[in-house]
């Protein structure tokens, strides 16, 4: 095995004094000193949110304040990190919404596990779960980062309902007009 020796060029006077490197560093520092500041005063100023941003998953109610979720558990099954936990509950037979099979007794989303993929929103047949534009979720403990049903509805609010499952009369009229 032969060893090949590579001759190294000797350093010039400027390279030995490091003057070009020092001048380059000072030039960069000067650019940062004279350039306008890019700091935002958060939370008063917030960055612009892109139009297709996927934020915090929340539950929404219909315009009459009723739960849209029917505990089908599709979002729980499709969630890659298993961040969603649903406990289905029965709707009392004497309720005005008894024609809907079930509703969520408990609905929890662990925001520490959530990867904001949006699959839960895509798979929901009732459009009950929606990704909001909120991006700053914080808490002091792991328990605070689990959004329970009441918190999810608080974050989600109310959205128009394209599905008429809750209104028996409207659903029957629409179904009758379709035939």
Q: Is 102 among the domain residues?
A: yes
User: What's the domain range around 136?
Assistant: 66-159
Q: Is 4 among the domain residues?
A: no
Q: Is 116 among the domain residues?
A: yes
**Six-digit token string for 93:** 């037979």
| CATH number, domain with residue 95 | 3.30.70.3270
User: What are the tens digits of pLDDT across the range 2-31?
Assistant: 889 999 999 888 888 888 899 999 999 999
Task: Give the single-character DSSP code of 158.
Answer: B
Q: How many domains does the chain have?
A: 1
Distance in angstroms (rounded) separating the CA atoms of residues 41 and 39: 7
User: What are the tens digits of pLDDT across the range 149-179?
Assistant: 999 999 988 877 666 565 655 545 555 555 5
Distance in angstroms (rounded) separating the CA atoms of residues 115 and 127: 20
Q: Is 101 among the domain residues?
A: yes
C-alpha pair distances (Å), 157 with each of 66, 121, 126: 11, 15, 15
**Contact present, 104 and 148 (Cβ < 8 Å):** no
């Amino acid at each position: 095995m032969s060893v090949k020796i590579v001759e190294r060029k000797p350093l010039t006077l400027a390279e030995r004094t490091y003057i070009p490197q020092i001048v380059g560093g000072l030039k960069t520092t000067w650019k940062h000193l004279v350039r306008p500041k890019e700091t935002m005063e958060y939370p008063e100023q917030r960055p612009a949110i892109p139009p297709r941003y996927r934020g915090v998953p929340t539950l929404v109610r219909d315009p009459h304040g009723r739960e849209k979720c029917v505990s089908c558990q599709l979002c729980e099954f499709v969630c890659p990190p298993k961040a969603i936990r649903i406990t289905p509950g029965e709707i009392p037979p004497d309720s005005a919404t008894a024609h809907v099979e079930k509703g969520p007794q408990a609905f929890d989303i662990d925001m520490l596990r959530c990867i904001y993929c949006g699959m839960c929103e895509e798979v929901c047949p009732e459009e009950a779960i929606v990704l909001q534009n909120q991006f700053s979720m914080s808490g002091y403990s792991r328990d605070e980062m689990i959004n329970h049903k009441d918190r999810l509805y608080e974050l989600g609010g109310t959205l128009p309902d394209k599905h008429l499952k809750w209104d028996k009369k409207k659903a029957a009229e629409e179904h009758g007009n379709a035939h």
